[in-house]
Amino acid sequence: MMITVNLRPGLKRKRSRGSPFAGVLEGLRGAGSRVKDPILLGAVGAWTIVLAFLAWTWVSTATELSALEPKLEQTRAEHKRFKTFLEQKRKQEVIRDSLQRQIATIKSVDGDRYIWPHVMDEVTKALPAYTWLIDLKVSGLPQGAQGVAPVAPAPGDTTKKVDSVVVAPAVMFEVNGRTVDIQAYTRFLRNLEASPWITDVMPVSAQTVVEQERAVTAFQIRATYREADSAYIRTVPLSQSVR
């Protein structure tokens, strides 16, 4: 056993020079020598690994979050822009549907004013010689009658809303006439069938009658008016300057 005597009491003994971590290492060695339970050592090691993993996860998540924040702001801006675009598109579609319904209503009301001029013009053109008409009248629904037809929603429309438009039924008419030549009657039928404004020409009856002391053929024909193709429609201005 060595006894150290301080011959200078007023002066502190200088610390021995060495590494600053020497004490820490000696403390760890001492703790390791004092702890002899392997289960406690395993628990401490496991908790050390868990804490290290949690720290690494937090750091990586924070880095990834900071990298995704600009993309999130960009996505929000695009969502707002597309939302505004879709709202404007829906408003335009509502206006379009309203205009289409109004146009269909106007057509159903105003579009039949030229039906009978076309019918009379085509019947007159188809009438052969030695043939005359007794009457020309409506058959079926009266002119101006209207119906309502459903319109399916556009593709991609999830509102399941079904619109309806006003439609006018086909105009059917009957022609009663007389002829002195049976061949003129068949020619009249062919001329009506060739007309672009008339369809479904069907002979109803044809019989011989006596009028003014002579035998003539009385016939009845039923047909339907249809709108001709645009190639057969000729338009003219309402007013023309006359010089």
Which residues make Cβ contacts (< 8 Å) with residue 141, sequence separation at least 6? 169, 172
Taking Cα atoms as reference points, which of 165, 163, 164, 166 lies closest to residue 145? 166
Which residues make Cβ contacts (< 8 Å) with residue 131, sequence separation at least 6? 177, 178, 179, 180, 181, 184, 185, 188
What pLDDT was estimated at residue 176?
95
Q: What is the pLDDT along the chain (243 residues), one digit of tens a residue?
A: 556 666 666 555 545 455 555 555 565 555 555 556 677 777 877 888 888 888 888 888 888 888 888 888 888 888 888 999 999 999 999 999 999 998 888 777 766 677 888 899 999 999 999 999 999 988 865 554 544 445 555 555 555 554 554 555 678 999 999 999 889 999 999 999 999 999 999 999 999 999 888 899 999 999 999 888 877 777 767 665 555
Name the architecture of domain 115-229: 2-Layer Sandwich (3.30)
What pLDDT was estimated at residue 148?
47
140-170 burial, b for 16+ CB within 10 Å, e for fewer? eeeeeeeeeeeeeeeeeeeeeeeeebbebee
Please state, in angstroms and rounded to a whole number, the distance separating the CA atoms of residues 35 and 56.
29
Please state, in angstroms and rounded to a whole number, the distance separating the CA atoms of residues 203 and 189.
8
What pLDDT was estimated at residue 42?
76
- Kindly provide the residue ranges of all beta strands, DSSP E only, lying in the chain, ordered along the sequence: 131-139, 147-151, 163-167, 172-179, 198-211, 214-225
What pLDDT was estimated at residue 96?
93
Q: What is the pTM of this model?
A: 0.48
**What phi, psi does 120 have (nearest 5°)?**
-65, -35
Q: Where are the domains of the chain?
A: 23-110, 115-229
